């Protein structure tokens, strides 16, 4: 990135000549623990709750889960049933050492971190989360992040147009200092763009930037994606959760529209939110074909050939990619999976995301089995979405809100939105998330073996019984690759049922 581009970027955030400091009282959260006392006779006696549970006023509170209608078949009732939460509830508690260090960090007025974040809404959210953590590691004040204009989405939105900036500052006031701009004396300082190596630990962050920050007083970071390690010390993992589930509240106008549309579909009963991810760029990046028509396949294949740098692992064939589960599920596969898992034909399905490549033809296999399809465009009254036209991030935020409120959420493939909603739905009560086992499913679809509907249903139910949003068992390798904002148990949630033997 050359220097004049950097100046243009900084110009969008260095308008004000003073810093707005928010000195507010500390609002700590505490973990409620219900103690179960086991008597010598083995009888469990539930004691009264101890302490007040962690405050949820900063978090999104979704619409309640619907009761299951007795008019549905047993299979359909099972489909709408929510997973057991294992007793886990939100509980972000920081160590004494973290709290002791917070005083100096939140009073920081001399050293600053500037970040620019890239991508669509949920990639930006991930990078903002990491920016807060990096500011905490460096003990620097964080300037409200800049949202870069992306070549694909072409969105010029500022942070305050997508997120509630004052809520962001206030929620994190006991963790990092967040300011609107640099102080006047630093507006003329020459600032060089910097980046981190992939998967950086806190020690790497400090060794690369601590001395520069002391000397220059300002560090500017860009290209933030996947630069901070997924495995961090416990306090920093909890800070990640606090940013993701409490601090990053959407702007008021987005919340108003998103909540109205969610209530509009929710009032008629439970609904499924599908994030199909059938846009052309997804197929190109995955190295797969949409298989909607020969013409569309040829167009995608041509772009993959012209721009191989966009494609993950060009050495694999399309067949190998499908068998490995790299390709998004198409509408036919999604429909067959939902049917196999017991989704009622009359069930409402909300389609989140952009226009599928191939338009209505691409989702026709889904609409044949589940005709009650809708979208934000269909739910909205005339003019309701008008303020967000040309603002992909705002429209994605509306999708996020409606999907969070659904009875069941299912993505067709992994991705930033799938991971964000999986973690957020866990945090608000382990709401049902069906995570398709694409690798095994691909083999079932491609094997050519003729399966009856009953056999296929048994296979899909068995395959997905532990992939429905319930707390997952912790493995020894988990910390190295799983993002805590997608898997918040146990770092950010407490199990409130401790057994004490008398």
Residue ranges per domain, the chain?
8-14+94-247, 256-493
pLDDT at 322 (0 to 100): 72
User: 220-224, 439-443, 457-461: which has the minimum mean pLDDT?
Assistant: 439-443
Beta bridge pairs of residue 218: 112
Distance CA 344, CA 341 (A): 9
Q: Find the DSSP H helices in 191-279.
A: 202-216, 234-242, 252-266
pTM for this entry: 0.85
Q: Which residues pair with 219 in a beta bridge?
A: 113
pLDDT at 276: 87
Contact 87, 497 (CB under 8 A): yes
Asked if residue 447 has pLDDT above 80, the reply is no
Higher pLDDT, 106 or 453: 106
Average pLDDT over residues 305-322: 77
- Determine the pLDDT at residue 360: 84
Segment 287-305 mean pLDDT? 86
Residues near 177 by beta carbon (within 8 Å), at least 6 away in sequence:
21, 105, 106, 107, 108, 109, 141, 142
User: Tell me, what's the pLDDT at 497?
Assistant: 56
Confidence of residue 374 (pLDDT cuts 50, 70, 90): very high
User: What would the DSSP string read from start to end of 328-381?
Assistant: PP-HHHHHHHHHHTT--TT-EEEEESSPPTTTHHHHHHHHHH---EE-HHHHSP
Q: Residue 91's closest CA among 491, 501, 498?
A: 491
pLDDT band at 27 (very low <50, low <70, confident <90, very high): very low
What whole-number percentage of the chain has pLDDT above 90?
54
Distant-in-sequence, close-in-space partners of 290: CB < 8 Å, separation ≥ 6: 278, 280, 283, 296, 297, 300, 330, 357, 358, 362
Could you identify the residue written with the tokens 């300002």?
218
Cβ atoms 225, 126 nearer than 8 A: yes
For residue 50, pLDDT over 60 is answered with: no
Cβ-based neighbours of 10, under 8 Å, separated by 6 or more: 114, 191, 220
Q: Which long-range contacts (CB under 8 A, 24 or more apart) does 124-130 make?
A: 124/162, 124/393, 125/244, 125/248, 125/416, 125/420, 126/225, 126/416, 126/420, 126/485, 127/224, 127/225, 128/243, 128/248, 129/240, 129/243, 129/244, 129/248, 129/485, 130/224, 130/227, 130/228, 130/240
pLDDT of residue 438: 79
Q: Which CATH number fits domain 8-14+94-247: 3.40.50, 2.40.50, 3.30.110, 3.30.230?
A: 3.40.50
Q: Single out the residue of 500, 495, 501, 499 nearest to residue 33, CA to CA.
A: 495
Which helix (H) or strand (E) segment holds residue 398: the answer is: helix 392-404
pLDDT at residue 218 above 80? Answer: yes
Note the pLDDT of residue 448: 52
Residue burial 128-155, b: 16+ Cβ < 10 Å; e: rest: bbbbbbbbbbbbbbbbbbbbbeeeebeb
Instruction: Cite the beta strand spans of 20-162 per DSSP E.
Output: 35-38, 44-46, 88-90, 112-117, 141-143, 146-147
Give the chain's mean pLDDT.
82
pLDDT of residue 433: 96
Question: In the prediction, which pLDDT does 64 show?
Answer: 93
């Amino acid at each position: 990135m050359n220097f004049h581009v950097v100046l243009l970027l900084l110009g969008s955030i260095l308008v004000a000549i003073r810093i707005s400091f928010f000195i507010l009282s500390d609002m700590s959260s505490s973990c409620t623990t219900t103690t179960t006392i086991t008597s010598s006779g083995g009888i469990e006696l539930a004691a009264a709750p101890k302490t007040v549970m962690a405050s949820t006023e900063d978090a999104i509170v979704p619409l309640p889960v619907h009761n299951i209608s007795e008019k549905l078949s047993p299979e359909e009732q099972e489909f709408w049933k929510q997973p057991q939460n294992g007793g886990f509830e939100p509980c972000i508690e920081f160590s004494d050492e973290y709290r002791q260090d917070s005083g100096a960090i939140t009073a920081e007025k001399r050293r600053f971190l500037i970040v620019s974040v890239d991508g669509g809404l949920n990639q930006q959210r991930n990078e903002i989360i990491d920016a807060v953590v990096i500011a905490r590691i460096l003990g620097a004040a964080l300037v409200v992040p800049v949202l870069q204009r992306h070549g694909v989405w072409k969105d010029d939105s500022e942070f305050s147009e997508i997120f509630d900036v004052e809520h962001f500052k206030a929620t994190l006031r006991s963790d990092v200092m967040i300011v609107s701009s640099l102080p006047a004396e630093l507006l003329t300082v020459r600032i060089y763009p910097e980046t981190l190596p992939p998967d950086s630990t806190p020690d790497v962050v400090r060794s690369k930037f601590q001395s520069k920050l002391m000397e220059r007083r300002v560090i500017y970071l860009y290209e933030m994606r996947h630069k901070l390690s997924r495995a961090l010390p416990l306090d920093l993992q909890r800070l990640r959760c606090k940013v993701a589930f409490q601090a990053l509240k959407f702007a008021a106008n987005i919340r108003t529209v998103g909540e109205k549309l969610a209530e509009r579909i929710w009032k008629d009963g439970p609904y499924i939110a599908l994030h199909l991810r059938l846009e052309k760029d997804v197929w190109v990046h995955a190295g797969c074909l949409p298989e909607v028509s020969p013409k569309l396949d040829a167009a995608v294949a041509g772009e993959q050939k012209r721009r191989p740098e966009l494609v993950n692992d060009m050495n694999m064939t399309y067949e190998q990619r499908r068998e490995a589960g790299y390709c998004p599920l198409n509408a036919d596969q999604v429909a067959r999976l939902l049917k196999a898992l017991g989704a009622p034909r009359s069930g409402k399905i909300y389609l989140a995301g952009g226009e599928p490549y191939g338009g209505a033809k691409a989702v026709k296999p889904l609409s044949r089995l589940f005709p009650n399809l809708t979208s934000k465009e269909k739910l909205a009254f005339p003019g309701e979405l008008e303020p967000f036209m040309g603002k992909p991030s705002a429209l994605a935020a509306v999708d996020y809100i409606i999907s969070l409120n659904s009875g069941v959420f299912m993505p067709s493939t992994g991705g930033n939105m799938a991971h964000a909603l999986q973690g957020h739905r866990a945090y608000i009560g382990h709401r049902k998330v069906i995570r398709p086992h694409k690798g095994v499913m691909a083999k079932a679809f491609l094997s050519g073996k003729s399966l009856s509907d009953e056999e296929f249903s048994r296979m899909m139910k068995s395959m997905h019984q532990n992939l429905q949003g319930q707390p997952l068992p912790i493995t020894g390798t988990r910390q190295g690759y799983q993002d805590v904002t997608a898997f918040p148990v146990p770092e950010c949630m407490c199990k409130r049922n401790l057994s004490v033997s008398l």
